[in-house]
Structure 1
Amino acid sequence: MSKSALFRTHCVQTQKRLEGHSLVFSLQDTSELNFDSHKKTEGLGSISKAYHKHKMGLMLHASLMVTQEGLPLGLSSLKCWSRVSREETPQEKQRRLYQSTMKEKESIKWIETLYETAALIPKDTCLITLGDREADIFELFRVASSLKTFFIIRNRKDRKFIDEKGKKTTVQTALSKTPILKTIALTLPKNQQRVARTAYVDMRSISGWLPIRNNLVYGPTNKDASRHIHEKVHVSAISVKEQPPPEGVAPVEWVLLNNLTATDAFEAEEQVNWYRLRWKIEEFFKTLKSGCCVEQCRLNTATKLTKMITLKSIIAFKLMYTRDQ
């Protein structure tokens, strides 16, 4: 979605609100907008994880800027698109993604959003990108570091890891051999999967290098892929593990990858608390859907819906900003 005049104006105002803050956070996330009951709307795409029966709607990826205190400052990026409905097996999907270049993958939304956000950041302001497991992408780590910005991303699956002494292992193995830094109380808000509760978690921290997982991350047709094959990114990894959880409750188990330093318990706990700000983007999507009723918009084309989604996204931010000011 190219930037409309309305959203460009909003970004200018977001940039003004960022001024004077030494540290700000970009909360990136994606949500599905369900228009499956809108049978006459043209240009919708699949929002279903099923491979043969597709629910129809639009995908929305947003970056909400917030302060350390959680005050929303505006949106820095907004992308809305129709996902192609493909009739393929899980194996066929995996093969297609494996052979695609980064620019051909939907994952490029994280990198493009980072570039757009970084362009708005004032000179003396530090930017930290927060993302869930979907954002665990080597290219995002590489670009964030090259832009001299920071990230805290929840690890999706065990990665290859090279410790500070040059020993090759995996992130999970290295963390399991590290002593506990501190046990902290973590307040978890209510969501669709859990009730609000307090979890007591053990923290561990390591630092080292993440090497690129394989030479097809950039796609076999990318002529520049060879220069990336041996690249690696320096990171810290913080383990947050609940022991023991309440009976019948899934334990909290996070591994947070970041390019900050976490040499002691204070820094590790601070970064864990920063990551918890990510829940603000979930509030944004809830406000957009429940408060602004964006999925009830009865427009007959995806193009018209996209314009309405942009307007209501700005309104959703304004509601949060007014509440939290």
Structure 2
Amino acid sequence: MLLSDCYSWAKQVFGLAKLGDPRRTRRLVTLATSLAQHTGLSIVKSSQSTAEVEGAYRLIRNPSVLPEAIAEAGFIATAEEATRHPVLLALEDTTTISFSHRTASDTLGHTAPGRHTRGLLVHSVLLYAPDKAQMVGLIEQQRWSRDIVTYGKKHQRKKRPYEEKESYKWQKASEQMASRLGDTQSRVISVCDREADIWQYLDYKVRQGQRFVIRAAHDRCLEEGSLFDLPTTLSQAGSHTLSVLQKGGRAARQVKMFISYSPVELKHPYGSEKRLPMTYICCREEAESGACWHLLTSEKVESAADARVIVSYYERRWLIEEYHKAWKSGGARVEQLRMQTRDNLERMIVVLSFVAVRVLALRQGGLGEEKQNESCEQVLSPIEWKLLWVKQEGKELPKKAPNLKWAYLSLAKMGHWHDSKRTGRAGWIVIWEGWFKLQDIVEGYRLAKSLDQEI
């Protein structure tokens, strides 16, 4: 679904949207198609005609078109696609979408860390099929803002009920996801970072029989000793090679991680007799100052191989961070929106949240070993890859389309990328600079062809 042509993708994702009028649904599909074809561009620049621009703005400004209705259509499409996979990872995290234009300040709340920023907080859940290294789609998303008058009152959070706290978003996301997926939920493993290490959330997952892998943030008490002291009492059960990506001043490297595991029962933090049974996995470098992951999981682990599978699931969590980049700045550029009201912003934010999943899937196709040798026509039209070939290779066209890896690297090079760090991985900015340049070339080619036909 994600790698189909733009119109087929948009129709499958938004074609069943219940917006009160079938004409609005058709307009939504047209808008999503244009935004997917011209990722990162505004409505005006991505539309093909003045009538299309006017229709798109009427849709975005229509108070009868609810952002929740747009999103629900996409969630239903994802739920349908999810039935085709035996195991699914629900990768989830929270991010902030900040807007700098002055008109947004009247309708949006503050975002951390400063009260002078305005925007929304968003919690998203992506479904990913690990057996095929394939993005499945967005299954849940919550959007909210913080009231300006509540700024600086974090110290009062212990007095509020759990259901009224922002941390309740984790449980709410699981509830919504389970409601949409039905029986498919039994195949889903939630993969979360340390922010999700909340007693109430862990209790909910255990009670509901929902599967999870969560990185522990708290050194919780056990019947004897504490969680983070446990590795000193466990024997090593094997090792796992972890690929640490280059980031900032840190060089990319391959790290050998040693694994140990044990069933545990977590004690209640406030003295209750309740215990939560689960499996603990420690994955750490040999050096004391090296990386160390304390993972809690619902999955039974009976061998080092089982433990390595769980660790590999947690490694996929970084894809949700890549999704945020694709959505906010690297592809869909949602933070560049200039709508003047929150309602209009939310409608576009939701549409672009699904466009960003497609962007991520396209980029991962050129990165992942499982996909990089497949045809680049999953991403580029015949005209696009042929013009890219002429521009980058400067030699006779091949008889069949080159692979996805070639397309990924060629677009990056067109965006003036040089693999100076020898990682073979290009950033979002250079990829999309290359993409925009290619679209200019394609547009010029089509214009020249139409002029030739007229002459």
* Shorter-chain TM-score range: 0.7 to 0.9
Unaligned runs of 5+ in 2: 1-65, 366-370, 372-455
Residue of structure 1 equivalent to 2:212: 151
Selected match of 1:197 from 243, 253, 269 = 253
Matched, 1:121 2:181: yes
Contact 1:201–1:242 at 8 Å: present in 2 too? yes
Q: Does residue 310 of structure 1 match 2:353?
A: no
Q: Tell me how far 1:322 sits from its aligned partner.
A: 4.2
CA distance in structure 1 between the partners assigned to 2:249 and 2:102 by the alignment: 31
**Match of 2:277?**
234
Q: Figure out how many residues of one structure are paired with residues of the other and give that number.
A: 295
Work out the CA distance in 1 between the residues paired with 2:176 and 2:252. 34
Deviation larger for 137-146 or 12-21 = 137-146
1:191–1:135 CA distance, 2 compared to 1 (3 A) = farther
Give how far 1:128 is off: 0.4
Distance 1:3 1:232 in 2: 40
SS at match of 1:55: strand
Deviation at 1:211, TM superposition (A): 2.1
How many angstroms does 1:306 deviate by? 1.5
CA contact (8 A) 1:18 1:122 kept: no
Counterparts of 1:1-325 in structure 2, within 5 Å, are: 4-35=68-99, 37-41=100-104, 42-50=106-114, 53-68=115-130, 69-85=132-148, 86-88=150-152, 93-94=154-155, 96-121=156-181, 123=183, 125-162=186-223, 168-192=224-248, 194-214=250-270, 229-244=272-287, 251-289=290-328, 290-323=330-363, 324=365
Query: Counterpart amino acid of 1:126?
Result: R
Cα distance, 1:175 vs structure 2: 2.2
Contact 1:118 1:127 in 2 (8 A): no
Q: Secondary structure at the match of 1:161?
A: coil
SS of alignment partner, residue 158 of structure 1: coil
Q: Distance in 2 between matches of 1:193 and 1:312?
A: 31
Separation in structure 1 between the aligned mates of residue 239 and residue 80 of structure 2, nearest angstrom: 39
Contact 1:152 1:275 in 2 (8 A): yes
What secondary structure does 1:61 align onto? strand
With over 3 angstroms needed to count, the CA separation of the structure-2 counterparts of 1:199 and 1:104, relative to structure 1, is same
Give the C-alpha shift of residue 264 in structure 1. 1.9
Q: CA deviation at 1:178?
A: 1.0
Equivalent pairs: percent with the same residue?
25
Decide whether aligned partners of structure 1 residues 87 and 31 sit closer, same or farther in structure 2, where only a CA change above 3 A counts. Answer: closer
- Cα distance in 1 between the residues matched to 2:109 and 2:254: 39
- The AA in structure 1 aligned to 2:297 is N
What TM-score do the two structures reach when normalised by structure 1? 0.84
Return the alpha-carbon distance in structure 2 between the equivalents of residues 192 and 154 of structure 1: 23
Does the CA-based 8 Å contact 1:70-1:280 persist in structure 2?
no
Determine which structure has the larger helix proportion and give its number: 2
Q: Which has the larger radius of gyration?
A: 2
- Structure 1 distance, partners of 2:225, 2:117, is 41
Greater share of strand: 1
Deviations 1:250-294 (A, max 9, x none): 621110111112232111111000111111111111110120110
Shift of 1:87: 4.3
RMSD of aligned residue pairs (Cα, Å): 2.1
Which sections of structure 1, spanning at least 5 residues, go unmatched? 163-167, 216-228
The separation in 2 between residues aligned to 1:3 and 1:99, in whole angstroms, is 32
Shift in Å at residue 122 of structure 1? 5.1
Q: How far 1:170 moved relative to its partner?
A: 0.8
Task: For residues 22-51 of structure 1, give each alpha carbon's deviation from its aligned partner in whole angstroms, at most 9, with x where no partner exists.
Answer: 21111110011121x22221222222235x
- Partners of 1:62 and 1:79 within 8 A in 2: yes
Structure 1 counterpart SS, 2:181: coil
SS in 2 for 1:169: coil
